[in-house]
Amino acid sequence: MNLIILGPQGSGKGTQAKLLADKYNLNHISTGELIRQEVASNSPFGRVLQEKINTGELISDSELFSVLEKTPLNQKNGFILDGTPRNLFQAQELEKVFKRVGVKLDKVVLLTLSHEESLNRMRKRAEIEHRTDDNDEAMQKRLELYQNETVPVIDFYRQQGKVIEVNGTPDIDTVFRDIVSKLEDVKYVS
Protein backbone atom coordinates (compact mmCIF):
# COMPACT_ATOMS: atom_id res chain seq x y z
CA MET A 1 0.00 0.00 0.00
CA ASN A 2 1.37 3.41 -1.01
CA LEU A 3 -0.11 6.47 0.67
CA ILE A 4 0.32 10.22 0.83
CA ILE A 5 -0.87 12.14 3.87
CA LEU A 6 -1.90 15.79 3.46
CA GLY A 7 -3.35 18.47 5.69
CA PRO A 8 -2.58 21.91 7.04
CA GLN A 9 0.30 22.46 9.42
CA GLY A 10 -0.52 21.17 12.88
CA SER A 11 -3.10 18.66 11.62
CA GLY A 12 -1.09 15.71 12.90
CA LYS A 13 0.25 14.42 9.59
CA GLY A 14 3.55 13.28 11.05
CA THR A 15 1.96 11.57 14.04
CA GLN A 16 -0.64 9.78 11.94
CA ALA A 17 1.94 8.83 9.30
CA LYS A 18 4.09 7.18 12.00
CA LEU A 19 1.10 5.28 13.39
CA LEU A 20 0.06 4.09 9.92
CA ALA A 21 3.64 3.12 9.08
CA ASP A 22 3.83 1.03 12.26
CA LYS A 23 0.42 -0.61 11.77
CA TYR A 24 0.94 -1.56 8.13
CA ASN A 25 4.76 -1.87 8.14
CA LEU A 26 5.13 1.01 5.66
CA ASN A 27 8.25 3.06 5.03
CA HIS A 28 7.50 6.49 6.58
CA ILE A 29 9.01 9.13 4.33
CA SER A 30 8.80 12.53 6.01
CA THR A 31 10.15 15.24 3.74
CA GLY A 32 10.15 17.62 6.70
CA GLU A 33 12.38 15.22 8.62
CA LEU A 34 14.62 14.70 5.59
CA ILE A 35 14.98 18.48 5.29
CA ARG A 36 15.72 18.86 9.03
CA GLN A 37 18.42 16.18 8.70
CA GLU A 38 19.97 18.11 5.82
CA VAL A 39 19.87 21.31 7.91
CA ALA A 40 21.44 19.50 10.87
CA SER A 41 24.31 18.36 8.65
CA ASN A 42 25.25 22.07 8.38
CA SER A 43 26.18 21.56 4.74
CA PRO A 44 26.01 24.60 2.45
CA PHE A 45 22.71 23.22 1.08
CA GLY A 46 21.49 22.69 4.66
CA ARG A 47 22.26 26.32 5.54
CA VAL A 48 20.25 27.53 2.51
CA LEU A 49 17.34 25.38 3.66
CA GLN A 50 17.65 26.71 7.24
CA GLU A 51 17.33 30.31 6.07
CA LYS A 52 14.16 29.48 4.14
CA ILE A 53 12.68 27.61 7.09
CA ASN A 54 13.38 30.51 9.45
CA THR A 55 11.48 32.95 7.23
CA GLY A 56 8.56 30.57 6.60
CA GLU A 57 9.42 30.24 2.93
CA LEU A 58 8.73 26.85 1.43
CA ILE A 59 11.59 24.85 0.03
CA SER A 60 11.68 25.09 -3.77
CA ASP A 61 10.51 22.15 -5.84
CA SER A 62 14.01 21.36 -7.08
CA GLU A 63 15.41 21.56 -3.52
CA LEU A 64 12.68 19.27 -2.26
CA PHE A 65 13.25 16.68 -4.97
CA SER A 66 17.02 16.87 -4.29
CA VAL A 67 16.28 15.80 -0.72
CA LEU A 68 13.55 13.29 -1.64
CA GLU A 69 15.55 11.49 -4.33
CA LYS A 70 17.84 10.10 -1.64
CA THR A 71 15.00 7.90 -0.36
CA PRO A 72 13.83 4.87 -2.36
CA LEU A 73 10.07 4.79 -2.93
CA ASN A 74 9.72 1.23 -4.23
CA GLN A 75 9.64 -0.45 -0.83
CA LYS A 76 8.37 -4.03 -0.47
CA ASN A 77 5.53 -3.15 1.92
CA GLY A 78 4.85 0.29 0.52
CA PHE A 79 5.26 3.78 1.92
CA ILE A 80 3.49 6.71 3.44
CA LEU A 81 4.75 10.04 2.12
CA ASP A 82 4.40 12.87 4.62
CA GLY A 83 4.97 16.51 3.65
CA THR A 84 4.92 16.21 -0.13
CA PRO A 85 3.44 17.19 -2.53
CA ARG A 86 2.80 20.77 -1.46
CA ASN A 87 1.85 22.14 -4.88
CA LEU A 88 0.43 20.93 -8.17
CA PHE A 89 3.82 20.83 -9.89
CA GLN A 90 5.17 18.53 -7.17
CA ALA A 91 2.12 16.27 -7.49
CA GLN A 92 2.64 15.99 -11.23
CA GLU A 93 6.37 15.36 -10.80
CA LEU A 94 5.66 12.70 -8.18
CA GLU A 95 3.39 10.94 -10.67
CA LYS A 96 6.36 10.77 -13.04
CA VAL A 97 8.64 9.49 -10.26
CA PHE A 98 6.09 6.84 -9.26
CA LYS A 99 5.82 5.70 -12.87
CA ARG A 100 9.60 5.65 -13.30
CA VAL A 101 10.18 3.50 -10.18
CA GLY A 102 7.13 1.32 -10.81
CA VAL A 103 4.91 2.21 -7.86
CA LYS A 104 1.22 3.06 -7.78
CA LEU A 105 -0.26 5.57 -5.37
CA ASP A 106 -3.24 3.94 -3.67
CA LYS A 107 -4.79 6.66 -1.51
CA VAL A 108 -4.28 10.18 -0.20
CA VAL A 109 -5.26 10.66 3.44
CA LEU A 110 -6.43 14.24 3.97
CA LEU A 111 -6.57 15.53 7.54
CA THR A 112 -8.86 18.55 7.82
CA LEU A 113 -8.41 21.23 10.46
CA SER A 114 -9.62 24.81 10.91
CA HIS A 115 -7.20 27.70 10.39
CA GLU A 116 -7.42 28.71 14.05
CA GLU A 117 -6.87 25.17 15.35
CA SER A 118 -3.90 24.80 13.02
CA LEU A 119 -2.33 27.98 14.45
CA ASN A 120 -3.02 26.89 18.04
CA ARG A 121 -1.37 23.53 17.47
CA MET A 122 1.68 25.05 15.78
CA ARG A 123 2.09 27.46 18.72
CA LYS A 124 1.95 24.57 21.19
CA ARG A 125 4.47 22.61 19.11
CA ALA A 126 6.78 25.64 19.04
CA GLU A 127 6.69 25.84 22.85
CA ILE A 128 7.33 22.13 23.31
CA GLU A 129 9.88 21.48 20.56
CA HIS A 130 11.54 24.93 20.49
CA ARG A 131 11.42 24.87 16.68
CA THR A 132 12.78 28.03 15.11
CA ASP A 133 10.45 27.66 12.12
CA ASP A 134 7.32 28.01 14.29
CA ASN A 135 7.13 31.77 14.85
CA ASP A 136 3.80 33.58 14.23
CA GLU A 137 4.85 35.23 10.98
CA ALA A 138 6.22 32.00 9.53
CA MET A 139 3.14 30.05 10.67
CA GLN A 140 0.73 32.49 9.00
CA LYS A 141 2.77 32.42 5.82
CA ARG A 142 2.80 28.61 5.72
CA LEU A 143 -0.98 28.47 6.20
CA GLU A 144 -1.49 30.96 3.36
CA LEU A 145 0.79 28.89 1.15
CA TYR A 146 -1.17 25.76 2.09
CA GLN A 147 -4.42 27.41 0.97
CA ASN A 148 -2.94 28.76 -2.25
CA GLU A 149 -0.63 25.90 -3.21
CA THR A 150 -1.73 22.65 -1.55
CA VAL A 151 -5.51 22.87 -1.85
CA PRO A 152 -5.21 22.46 -5.67
CA VAL A 153 -3.19 19.27 -4.99
CA ILE A 154 -6.12 17.92 -2.99
CA ASP A 155 -8.42 18.65 -5.93
CA PHE A 156 -5.94 16.92 -8.27
CA TYR A 157 -6.14 13.71 -6.20
CA ARG A 158 -9.90 14.07 -5.66
CA GLN A 159 -10.39 13.98 -9.43
CA GLN A 160 -8.53 10.65 -9.41
CA GLY A 161 -10.81 9.31 -6.66
CA LYS A 162 -7.88 8.84 -4.27
CA VAL A 163 -8.76 11.16 -1.36
CA ILE A 164 -9.89 9.81 2.01
CA GLU A 165 -10.92 12.79 4.15
CA VAL A 166 -10.66 12.59 7.94
CA ASN A 167 -11.38 15.27 10.55
CA GLY A 168 -8.03 15.98 12.23
CA THR A 169 -9.54 17.83 15.21
CA PRO A 170 -10.24 14.95 17.64
CA ASP A 171 -7.59 13.21 19.72
CA ILE A 172 -4.82 11.19 18.07
CA ASP A 173 -6.41 7.78 18.68
CA THR A 174 -9.81 8.83 17.30
CA VAL A 175 -8.23 10.27 14.15
CA PHE A 176 -6.14 7.12 13.70
CA ARG A 177 -9.17 4.83 14.08
CA ASP A 178 -11.07 6.95 11.54
CA ILE A 179 -8.22 6.69 9.02
CA VAL A 180 -7.86 2.92 9.47
CA SER A 181 -11.62 2.44 9.20
CA LYS A 182 -11.77 4.41 5.96
CA LEU A 183 -8.76 2.59 4.50
CA GLU A 184 -10.34 -0.74 5.35
CA ASP A 185 -13.69 0.38 3.92
CA VAL A 186 -12.05 0.92 0.53
CA LYS A 187 -10.28 -2.44 0.87
CA TYR A 188 -6.74 -1.09 0.53
CA VAL A 189 -5.69 -3.03 3.59
CA SER A 190 -6.45 -6.54 4.73
Q: What is the pLDDT of residues 46-80, one digit of tens each?
A: 999 998 888 777 788 989 888 887 777 777 889 99
Between 59 and 158, whose confidence is greater?
158
Question: What one-character DSSP code corresponds to residue 58?
Answer: P
- In this prediction, residues 14-19 reach a mean pLDDT of 95
pTM above 0.75, yes or no: yes
Distance between CA 108 and CA 183 in Å, rounded?
A: 10
18 is an annotated ligand-binding site residue: no
Q: Looking at the predicted structure, is the pLDDT value of residue 190 above 70? A: no
pLDDT in tens, 114-139: 999 999 998 888 888 876 666 788 88
Q: Binding site annotation covers 44?
A: no
Q: Is 123 part of any known ligand binding site?
A: no
- 46 in a known ligand binding site: no
Domain boundaries defined on the chain: 2-183
Q: Does 170 carry a binding-site annotation?
A: yes
* pLDDT of 117: 94
Q: Are 113 and 169 in contact (CB under 8 A)?
A: yes
Q: Is 63 annotated as a binding residue?
A: no
86 annotated as belonging to a binding site for a ligand: no
Q: How do beta strands 163-167 and 2-6 pair?
A: unpaired
**The pLDDT of residue 126:** 81
| Cα dihedral 136, 141, 147, 151 sign | negative
pLDDT grade for 160, boundaries at 50, 70 and 90: very high
142 assigned ligand-binding residue: yes
Q: Are 3 and 20 in contact (CB under 8 A)?
A: yes
CATH superfamily entry for domain 2-183? P-loop containing nucleotide triphosphate hydrolases (3.40.50.300)
Do the beta carbons of residue 88 and residue 156 sit within 8 Å? yes
